[in-house]
Structure 1
Amino acid sequence: MPRITDTVTTADGDCPVSLHTPDGGGPWRGIVMYPDAGGARPTFRAMADKLAGYGYAVLVPDVYYREGDWAPFTIATAFDDDVERRRLFSFMAKVTPEVMAADATAFFDYLAGRPEVRGDTFGTTGYCMGGRTSLVLAGRLPDRVSAAMSFHGGGLATDDPHSPHLLADQMRAAVYVGAARSDRSFTTEDGERLEKALTSTGVEHTIEWYPAFHGFAVPDNGPYDEPAARRHWEAMRSFFATHLV
């Protein structure tokens, strides 16, 4: 599967990215894949290769590029190590909705300028904090996002004034949320709040609950669940085939 590494110039510097494309000729529709809290790493580049195999040009950004040459997290143990947990949370806190939107504008412009990519709207998919980013962008950049997916995303419908569900009236994208069971970051009550917001504003959407725990779709996560991960790939193939054409 062809893969290149590059940098995208943003308002705050140069963001390392990898771009994954199918074998054969293009161009293809573009998707930005947002990693979980552990950031861009080999498991996400492998996942982007798989998604590219469905017929898309997939960009994986280093959302922590402002930290410089940061040491990778071992996501399976990072939350159990006090020092690593504090470092991780400090990184996450800096990726605000304003930062997400500013960076995504640069990512979309980059994709639009690539010969491998066609179309001027894009798909987004993300995991954990990346799942929240995906929905934030659907609301903040409605002219650029036509299909947005979130898997075990957290903070999707909360009392925070920046909660993605409050952007529902701005969204034009179709939305898919694959939620985990017993997930404190996205409870059944949060799901009901998100469902109500999307329905009341006419957003085409699907919210599905997976019988697996937070982190189920990412192979290097401790709660990785192979049957749930297969289901998430099937959902991704179907959703983007319908909404990113």
Structure 2
Amino acid sequence: MTATQGISVDIQTPDGVADAYVTHPDDGAAHPGVLVVQDGFGLRPSLKKLADRIAAHGYTVLLPNAFYRSGRAPVVELPDYIDPAARPEIFQQIIPLINALTPDRLRADTEAYLGWLAASPLVTGAKVGLTGYCMGARIVVQAAAMFPDRIGAVAGFHGGPLVTDTPDSPHLTLGKITAELYFAHAGEDRHMTPEHFAEFDKALVAAGVRHRTEVYAGAQHGYTQADTAAYDAASDERHYRELLALFDRNLPQ
């Protein structure tokens, strides 16, 4: 794999300073930009490794701390191996942080992150790619609808909830999206049922969005996260293959 270089950066937002991790090929050249949106457990070493792997394929990757309003990462102290069944108190700390990410805050944050990528000498190209995990998959759909002229490809893995009965449900925003989408649902996921999968697909077709959705049979919610009990190596490798193929189609090197 191509060697990468990673550094920590601070990004000014309307609500403060977001700490973030940036990683890119160590070749002195500019590359297409990618924004990685975290899962609920937050910015941590395993997510940095995920960002490094994307960067090694030829991308400049920005991984912000979505919970920066509550402090620099790690906002919630986590064990090296995360098993929510053994540590249910973790979710009691995380849920309020997730609920605080209102659409207005997401818009402001995404604009700041896209602005950072656009201004960076490490980034080339008019559009960037987005990939999100768990809660991040919901966020990347919302971001793609908010900034359709700046986002060329969007992927979401074991995401949820993508279909709700609220006015800001992601599946209701799809008509604004111009990017190509790829979503890979977890076959074993209490956050997204088969009925949700079908409704999300129906909304994608109705909106005329270029897309492909798949269900990774047997995979648990969180299958890409190598430091959790839900991790599935085969599904994770499949996720990288599909993600990088999506970016290669839409983000010219």
Same fold by TM (over 0.5)? yes
SS of aligned partner of 2:11: strand
**Alignment correspondent of 1:42:** 45
SS of aligned partner of 1:21: strand
Structure 1 segment 81-96 matched on structure 2, within 5 A: 81-96=87-102
Q: Tell me if structure 2 keeps the 8 A contact 1:2–1:20.
A: yes
For residue 72 of structure 1, the aligned residue among 53, 68, 77 is 77
Structure 1 segment 1-245 matched on structure 2, within 5 A: 1-69=4-72, 70-74=75-79, 76-78=82-84, 80-211=86-217, 212-245=219-252
How far apart are residue 39 of structure 1 and its match?
A: 0.6
CA RMSD of aligned residues (A): 1.4
Moved more, 61-70 or 226-235: 61-70
Q: Deviations over 1:182-241 (max 9, x none)?
A: 212111111111111111111000101102111111101111000111100110111110
Q: Tell me if structure 2 keeps the 8 A contact 1:43–1:219.
A: yes
Q: In structure 2, do the counterparts of structure 1 residues 79 and 160 end up closer, same or farther at CA, with 3 Å as the change threshold?
A: farther
How far apart are residue 81 of structure 1 and its match?
A: 3.5
Alignment partners' CA distance in 1, 2:90 and 2:158: 21
How far apart are residue 98 of structure 1 and its match?
A: 2.1
Alignment partners' CA distance in 1, 2:227 and 2:126: 33
TM-score (norm 1): 0.96
Q: In structure 2, do the counterparts of structure 1 residues 193 and 61 end up closer, same or farther at CA, with 3 Å as the change threshold?
A: same
Alignment partners' CA distance in 2, 1:238 and 1:122: 14
Alignment partners' CA distance in 1, 2:227 and 2:131: 18
The one-letter code matched in structure 1 to 2:41 is G
Alignment partners' CA distance in 2, 1:24 and 1:3: 13
The one-letter code matched in structure 2 to 1:72 is E
Q: Deviations over 1:39-62 (max 9, x none)?
A: 100001011000001100000000
Q: Tell me if structure 2 keeps the 8 A contact 1:34–1:124.
A: yes
TM-score (norm 2): 0.93
Alignment partners' CA distance in 2, 1:119 and 1:76: 37
Moved more, 52-61 or 98-107: 98-107
How far apart are residue 82 of structure 1 and its match?
A: 4.6
The list of structure 1 runs, each at least 4 consecutive aligned residues, that deviate by more than 4 angstroms after superposition, is none
Alignment partners' CA distance in 2, 1:42 and 1:97: 27
Q: Tell me if structure 1 keeps the 8 A contact 2:76–2:93.
A: no
Q: Tell me if structure 1 keeps the 8 A contact 2:76–2:94.
A: no
Q: How many pairs are equivalent?
A: 245
The one-letter code matched in structure 2 to 1:146 is G
Aligned-pair identity (%)? 34
Q: Tell me if structure 2 keeps the 8 A contact 1:79–1:85.
A: no
Alignment partners' CA distance in 2, 1:172 and 1:61: 24
The one-letter code matched in structure 1 to 2:233 is E
